[in-house]
Structure 1
Amino acid sequence: MKKFRSAALALGLVTAAPALAQQAPAPTTAPAPAPATPPRLLVVISVDQFSADLFAEYRSQFTAGFARLMSGAVFPSGYQSHAATETCPGHSTILTGDHPSRTGIIANNWTDFSAPREDKQVYCAEDESVPGSTSSKYTVSDKHLKVPTLGEWMKLADPQSRVVSVAGKDRAAVMMGGHKVDELWWWDGKAFVSYADRARPAMVDRINASVATRIAEEQAPLELPAFCRARSRAIALPGGLSVGDGRFARAAGDARAFRASPEFDESILALGAGLATDMKLGQNGHTDLLIVGASATDYVGHGNGTEGSEMCLQLLSLDQTLGKLFAVLDSTGVDYAVVLTADHGGHDLPERNRDHAAPMAARVDAALEPEEVGKAIAATLGLKGELLRGDVAGDIYIEPGLTKAQRAAVQAAAIKRYAAHPQVQAVFTAAQILATPAPKGPPETWSLLERARNSYYAGRSGDFVVSLKPRITPIPNPKLGGVATHGSFWDYDRRVPMLFWRKGMTGFEQPLSVETVDIAPTLAALIGVPVPVQIDGRCLDLDAGPGTTCK
């Protein structure tokens, strides 16, 4: 497989540990048992849009970082068990131990008619009170996350614990890092940045300079490994687009193409490795937390789908990059534990899904856009205004400038219209959802209404919620919104892998379902940190040290 000229990753690794620049990843097993003391460093990795289906498809091909993780505790059916399977809600569950119904992060965006600006759409990781801001031009903030994270639990137990969070997306870094972080960095489209009041470490400057140089250079197509060749097939899409046989060729200066390539994750992991070594994480006598949000898989999935040569190259490259990250951490001599999971799954573009025994796969009817439904209802009821806001599926909001009777009429007409559409599976009102008890038992058995309950936060969620049928992609026009996505109530978007590893731990695989909310309490038990608040998750037995036989 042809390697990228990864200046960003090479810089991070060479700066951190020069002897490891060309060293192969450490062996995936170790003869010594796990230490009898808690690890000094927790490493939490989220691979954006890494579904359980993708893990199952590629696990036999992994030879480096993923292979090491698979020698530990493997939970192939971890669940982002809520309904709104988007990036922000998913990341909010990983290190809080809570579902979105507690975290308050119900979606990437929601409508707030009380927002102090003309734009009433609110982004999950912004402060909408900043003058002149919009939901697309915003100031990053953690204010909407309603609960503390593992890093905050750690600092409460030991104020000298340090928390470092780096990601390709601001919402990933913020939702996993929480409200009290020592370093928090994300990619803004041009460079890695942080809050305005943060000093910039030298490592960030080095990585940014290296990435800028790399983006300015042309990238030749990658060679396809034999495993990827069978997946390389052009798929024609509406509007003259074609995906499925790409190899990440990139013109000089194309930052968007860089973001949707394996090089992007290399730069993110390089920054994480560099900060870990420069800050000597895990070496100061206290337990530290390194959080890494690898975002390229999501951009590859949205831009190319999940079953082409592009995803194949991305995941095989990520496997090698993870191996290099672990080699750097090995070189420090720190006893560290790793968990890798995802914020949500994803499904392939409908044009290729129909070739894979999914004849029902289709793009959503544009008539289901809330603006269009609202227009039709307004004409029927003799009302004026937009009436409905939201996305084509998920939370739908009724305009506030209506009488109580008008609101009731609009909601009844909207529910009737949505429910009658052949692409709609279910419609639930806020009252129905809030009257539903929090679900219990295996998450794959929950009803759609119970899944909606775990996503619903009163005062922030919609007046009613719409679920599309399976394999209906909520993108009417791929030229305007990407070719494939996620976000549904269905298990292909809910189910993700959860992989735990620590040197010397006894490896095993647990096929039964667990939840991503179980990660934070499990890691807290591993390092002996009490959970200071009531949470939704539970501790999982790992046999990775004295704390992970859950009590």
Structure 2
Amino acid sequence: MSKFAPRILSTLPLAFALLGCSSTPSLAPMPVAGAAAQASRPKLIVFMVVDGLPMRQVLAYRDQLQPDGFKRFLDRGAWFANAHYGHGHTVTAAGHSVMLSGAYPQRSGIISNEWRDPASGEAVYCTSDAAYSYIDNKTEPLAGTSPRNLKVETVGDVLRTVDPASKVIAVSGKDRGAILPAGHKGVAYMYMGATGQFASSTYYMASHPQWVKDFNAAKPADAFFGKAWAPLLPEAAYARSVPDGQSWQYTGGNGNKLPAVLGDKHEKPGPLFYGNILPSPFGDELTLAFARAALEGEQLGVDEKTDILSVSLSSHDYVNHAFGPESRLSHDHFLHLDRYLQGFFQYLDGKVGAANYMVVLTADHGFADTPEWAKSQGRDAERLNPSQMMAWVNTGLVKKFGEGRWATAFSAAGILFDQKLIAQKGLQPEAVYAETKALLLQLPGVADAFTEAQLRGDDRQTPYLAAMRKSWDPQRAAPVQVVVKPGWLFGSRVGGSSHGTPYAYDTHVPILGWGPAWLGQGEVKTPVEVADIAPTLAKILQVRAPAQAQGQVLPLPLMPVAAPR
């Protein structure tokens, strides 16, 4: 049983397992705007994350959007044009830990997707917990199964502490994209790449509720076998994007050219096919189908107890990693996503009622342009190989301090050291860190490096130090943090793109809201941070903000805009 007893359980036909797109949308009726003055709480808060979506992509394709997808936010919602992350190591787990807790990694402990324990050197995955396993699915070592590593509470945790009858359900293509927003008292469901199912873990329940069993039994992932990902628009519409088939674009999986047929190299659906669904538009379609099943199966938003449904859509991140945000494949994926959102919002209008729910959409990080493409445009852009960087550092430390493997591992965005060796040599750790910093600054791709003394200090003037400090948990993070130059990426594989820096292309993400009774309408240009979402939702829910939250309430627009642009 789910630890939430469903109010009404129904058998789920395959008919709603796959999410259709509305071609002739009817725009949602507009509730009376009252923003901060609204006394009643929404019946449902839908919190959405588009993994790896920089704000620049939202605005770059605005003229090609459907009237009720992203434009619902831009034309009739409240949106923040200058929203950023405040921490410097901008990766998926860190972003997802900030959104609904309001706490930066320095407090949450989620410093990266994975890291090495500074004391033991053992690998740690952000949501791994060997005490729990996936339900009805194989659990690999370090698989994400619980929020044990998350040191802070979320808005959902506060809500369920005050009112245990409220439900918090989180869904994602990635385990970390579901577990971290779900917090400690919600329930997380994640996509299983080996089976095409969605599953929870034994942290949350002993067995799946019937609606999950019904969804998985219908095998909705199999419906995408042999389906083509084809461009939505004529070729001329993609002139602003880099064409398919570039040498730096990843050729594995579904290939790097459209149309791409899923499963064309396989006889029948299997683990490779199921894994390849995520780096295509169909990964988002399938996730939204499961979100609909969760809403129906758990009967979210049907009474006066406010529920939270968190939906993290992972596919855009996979697409951008493989092909770069400048690519036509990324451009077209975004347009597919826009249509899926339109269908999902119109479903919510009918199921929950347009005046009864609100939506907040953000991203966990932005994206750098692919270095090879950026370099072809005359920019300084390269890849910094962490192994080569570590070898350079150790060679220099040996010259300075004598034989030994001084730097032991590259962890998250930093360098770990052999503390026993440092002690045996009678050295002060900070002296080794300072020498490491000096060595790093000799490398062409390094913009700066920060030592433990700097990270523990209060210097607010040095560029990017404050941001890296917010990413630094002294119990888990390395004592020397490294920042690459703008346009550069950590990595050894040529091809594809990534993120993880304190630069605007990685920190500038959307914060888009719809629900005029609670959020108002209009563009807000005031600088805000993603950490501000949690205190804002807490105020709307009329509960206290999460205890470790570092954000503040967003400056919501109080009046509707005169007319959509």
TM (normalized to structure 1)?
0.85
For the structure 1 residues 203 and 130, does the alpha-carbon distance in structure 2 shift closer, same or farther, using more than 3 Å as the test? closer
2:289 equivalent in structure 1:
270
- Partners of 1:271 and 1:435 in 2: CA distance: 46
Return the letter of the residue paired with 2:65.
F
Q: How far 1:371 moved relative to its partner?
A: 5.0
Match of 1:68 in 2: 72
Residue 441 of structure 2 aligns to a residue in which SS?
helix
SS at match of 2:260: coil
- Cα pair 1:375 1:387 within 8 Å, conserved: no
Q: Given that residues 62 and 319 in structure 1 are in contact (C-alpha distance below 8 angstroms), is that contact kept between their aligned partners in structure 2?
A: yes
1:200 offset after TM fit, Å? 1.5
Structure 1 256/369 Cα, relative in aligned 2: closer, same or farther at 3 Å? farther
Give the aligned partner of residue 496 of structure 2.
Answer: 483
Shift of 1:330: 1.2
Distance in structure 2 (CA, Å) of the matches to 1:532 and 1:381:
46
1:29: how far off?
A: 5.5
Shift in CA distance, 212/449, structure 1 to aligned 2, threshold 3 Å: same
1:74-473 aligned at under 5 Å gives the runs: 74-115=79-120, 120-127=122-129, 137-138=142-143, 140-181=145-186, 183-190=187-194, 191-196=197-202, 197-208=205-216, 209-214=218-223, 217-226=225-234, 227-228=237-238, 230-231=240-241, 232-237=243-248, 245-250=257-262, 251=264, 252=266, 253=269, 254-334=273-353, 335-356=356-377, 358-365=378-385, 368-371=388-391, 373-374=393-394, 377-378=397-398, 381-385=401-405, 387-391=407-411, 394-404=413-423, 405-406=426-427, 407=429, 410-436=432-458, 447-473=463-489
For structure 2, which runs of at least 5 residues remain unmatched after alignment? Answer: 1-11, 560-565
Change (3 A) 1:499 1:221: closer
Equivalents in 2 of 1:306, 1:276: separation in Å? 32
CA-CA distance at 1:164 after TM superposition: 0.4
Structure 1 distance, partners of 2:393, 2:148, is: 33
Deviations 1:284-326 (CA, angstroms, capped at 9, x unpaired): 3201100001000100011111111211121101111111111
Q: Residue type matched to 1:158 in 2? A: D
Structure 2 CA distance, aligned partners of 1:32 and 1:368?
59
Alpha-carbon distance between aligned partners in 1 of 2:329 and 2:140, rounded to the nearest angstrom: 30
Amino acid at match of 2:404: K
Deviates more, 1:509-518 or 1:104-113: 104-113
- Tell me the CA shift for residue 333 of structure 1: 3.5
Counterpart Cα distance in 1 of 2:414 and 2:468:
10
* Percent identity (aligned): 30
Structure 2 CA distance for partners of 1:532 and 1:165, relative to 1, 3 Å: closer
My pick for the range that moved more, 140-149 or 188-197, is 188-197
| Equivalent pair of 1:75/1:498 in contact (CA under 8 Å) | yes
Q: Aligned equivalents of 2:249 and 2:509: distance in 1?
A: 30
Matched positions, count? 517
Partner residue of 1:52 out of 40, 47, 55: 55
Deviation at 1:363, TM superposition (A): 1.8
Counterpart position of 1:15: 16
Q: Is the CA contact 2:404–2:421 (under 8 Å) kept in the aligned structure 1? A: no
Instruction: Please give the alpha-carbon distance, in whole angstroms, between the structure 2 residues aligned to 1:247 and 1:474.
Output: 31
Counterpart-to-counterpart distance in 2, 1:326 and 1:300: 23
Write the distance in 2 (CA, Å) between the matches of 1:543 and 1:461: 38
Residue number in structure 1 paired with 2:530: 516
The amino acid across from 2:189 in the alignment is W
Counterpart Cα distance in 1 of 2:289 and 2:295? 10
Q: How many angstroms apart in 2 are the aligned matches of 1:37 and 1:341?
A: 24
Contact 1:245 / 1:309 at 8 angstroms: preserved in 2?
no
Q: Does 1:30 align with 2:30?
A: yes
Deviation at 1:186, TM superposition (A): 0.7
Displacement of 1:51 after TM fit? 0.7
Structure 1 residue 72 displacement after superposition: 0.7
Contact 1:25 1:326 in 2 (8 A): no
What is the rounded CA distance, in whole Å, between the counterparts of 1:230 and 1:345 in structure 2? 19
In structure 2, relative to structure 1, the CA distance for the partners of 1:333 and 1:192 (3 Å cut) is closer
Q: CA RMSD in A?
A: 3.1
Structure 1 equivalent of residue 545 of structure 2: 531
Distance 1:42 1:12 in 2: 25
Change (3 A) 1:87 1:322: same
CA deviation profile, 1:499-549 (whole Å, cap 9, x unmatched)? 01115664210122100011011111112122262521111243579xxxx
- State the Cα deviation string for residues 227-278 of structure 1 (Å, max 9, x = none): 2355224322399999864443322442332110010011111111111122
Query: 2:14–2:220: 8 Å Cα contact kept in structure 1?
Result: no
Alignment deviations for residues 367-426 of structure 1 (CA, whole Å, 9 cap, x no partner): 6442553355347644234633115x7121112331333555643442222111121100
Distance 2:280 2:191 in 1: 14
**Relative to structure 2, which stretch is displaced further, 369-378 or 79-88?**
369-378
TM-superposed CA distance for 1:153, in Å, is 1.1
Q: Please give the per-residue CA displacement for 1:153-210, whole angstroms capped at 9, x wherever unaligned.
A: 11122121110000111111111110001x3101131321211244213333344343
Distance in 1 of aligned mates of 2:360 and 2:156? 15
Which residue matches 2:4? none
Native 8 Å contact 2:430 2:451 kept in 1: no
- Counterparts in 2 of 1:247 and 1:312: CA distance versus 1, 3 Å: farther
* Counterpart code for 1:194: S
* Alpha-carbon distance change, 31 to 401 in structure 1, aligned in 2, over 3 angstroms: closer
8 A contact 2:361–2:511 mirrored in 1 = yes
Q: Is the 8 A contact 2:220 2:286 kept in 1?
A: yes
Taking a change above 3 Å as real, the CA distance of residues 100 and 135 of structure 1, as seen in their structure-2 partners, is farther
Secondary structure of residue in 2 paired with 1:457? coil
Matching residue's letter, 2:357: Y
Q: Name the SS of the counterpart of 2:228 in structure 1.
A: coil
**TM-aligned CA distance change 1:107 to 1:160, over 3 Å:** same
**Alpha-carbon contact 1:29-1:68 (below 8 Å) kept:** no
Q: CA deviation at 1:219?
A: 2.7
State the secondary structure of the residue aligned to 1:509. Answer: strand
CA distance in 2, matches of 1:467, 1:447: 10
1:13 and 1:21 in contact (8 A); partners too = no
Q: Which moved more, 1:62-71 or 1:264-273?
A: 62-71
**Counterpart contact for 1:428–1:466, Cα < 8 Å:** yes
**278-287 vs 526-535, which deviates more?**
526-535
CA 1:333–1:239: 2 relative to 1, 3 Å: closer
